[in-house]
């Protein structure tokens, strides 16, 4: 299962039933779990932690040092969960002293050419399109779809169950359950298809829709809009998520 043309540092820890193709480089201080497929010309560098059942395609680089001039060689990691598909030429940098780790959760698809910068946190069940670039210390919540060639500014957060249209660039937070796109980036309605596919009830979808009508179409500022949401919309977990996300936004939300 391990090509004789691969290089594996003697201190690296490799689990069971791992397939490693030719010209793979695995550095020291690397831990790789069970049932992974690592295709030719993959580089898994110092500080990488790979879970179980991942497929990593040719040219991917995991654990390279951050592209951040503040980095001083501190001990940090790049952590990948389970059952991810990491396509060709994806780069996942390890963390800096800011958070000490970059994290990609489980059951994600990172398409060709995706870049995950230092200290980023990507949740579970996300699809990230070709050539999308995510700057340092971003957060992407679970079950998000980000289309191709999206540019995400540092420190931004994207809420769960959101869909971001291809070619979008943004420097503010994008709340959950919506579609974001256009130039400049704007709220484009609910991610209705995504919510229905994920089993959200019609009642829940209607509550989410009513909350966003208040937030985006009432003409009120954010504080007043959230107050009205709390007063008029049943505070289900989904509505609490929206309100909490917006109240805790450090960069403000897209409009």
Task: Give the start-to-end residue ranges of the domains of the chain.
Answer: 7-137, 195-247
| pTM attached to this predicted model | 0.96
Domain 7-137 top-level CATH class: mainly beta
- Known catalytic residue: 119? yes
The whole-number pLDDT of residue 181 equals 97
Same fold, 7-137 and 195-247: no
The confidence band for 224, taking pLDDT boundaries of 50, 70 and 90, is very high
Domain 195-247 top-level CATH class: mainly alpha
The confidence band for 152, taking pLDDT boundaries of 50, 70 and 90, is very high
Q: Where are the beta strands (DSSP E) in 136-210?
A: 139-140, 145-146, 151-152, 157-158, 163-164, 169-170, 178-181, 186-190
The whole-number pLDDT of residue 192 equals 97
Quick one: average pLDDT of 161-176?
Answer: 98
pLDDT tens, residue by residue, 19-43? 999 999 999 999 999 999 999 999 9
Active-site residue among 63, 136, 159, 194?
Answer: 136
Distance CA 93, CA 136 (A): 9
The whole-number pLDDT of residue 111 equals 98
Q: In what helix (H) or strand (E) does residue 226 lie, and over which residues does it extend?
A: helix 222-232
Look over the chain and give the mean of its residue pLDDT values, rounded to a whole number. Answer: 97
- Known catalytic residue: 167? no
**Beta-carbon contacts of residue 78 (< 8 Å; ≥ 6 apart):** 45, 47, 48, 49, 62, 63, 92, 93, 94, 95, 101, 102
Active-site residue among 47, 81, 118, 141?
Answer: 118
- Known catalytic residue: 173? no
Distance CA 115, CA 130 (A): 10
The whole-number pLDDT of residue 43 equals 98
**Beta-carbon contacts of residue 167 (< 8 Å; ≥ 6 apart):** 147, 148, 149, 150, 183
Quick one: average pLDDT of 117-126?
Answer: 98
């Amino acid at each position: 299962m391990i090509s004789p043309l691969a290089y594996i540092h003697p201190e690296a820890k490799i689990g069971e039933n791992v397939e490693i193709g030719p010209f793979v480089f695995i550095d020291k201080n690397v831990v790789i779990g069970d049932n992974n497929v690592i295709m030719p010309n993959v580089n898994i560098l110092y500080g990488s932690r790979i879970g179980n059942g991942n497929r990593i395609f040719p040219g991917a680089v995991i654990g390279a040092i951050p592209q951040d001039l503040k980095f001083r060689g501190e001990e940090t990691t790049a952590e990948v969960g389970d059952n991810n598909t990491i396509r060709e030429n994806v780069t996942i940098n390890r963390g800096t002293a800011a958070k000490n780790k970059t994290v990609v959760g489980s059951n994600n698809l990172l398409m060709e050419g995706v870049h995950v910068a230092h200290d980023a946190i990507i949740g579970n069940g996300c699809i990230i399109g070709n050539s999308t670039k995510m700057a340092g210390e971003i957060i992407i919540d679970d079950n998000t779809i980000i289309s191709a060639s999206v540019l995400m500014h540092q420190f931004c957060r994207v809420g769960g169950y959101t869909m971001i249209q291809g070619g979008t660039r943004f420097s503010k937070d994008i709340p959950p359950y919506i579609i974001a796109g256009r130039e400049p980036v704007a709220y484009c309605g609910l991610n209705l298809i995504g919510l229905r596919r994920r089993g959200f009830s019609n009642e829940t979808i209607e509550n989410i829709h009513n909350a966003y009508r208040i937030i985006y179409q009432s003409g009120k500022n954010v504080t007043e809009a959230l107050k009205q949401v709390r007063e008029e919309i049943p505070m289900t977990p989904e509505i609490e998520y929206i309100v909490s996300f917006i109240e805790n936004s450090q960069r403000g939300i897209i409009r």
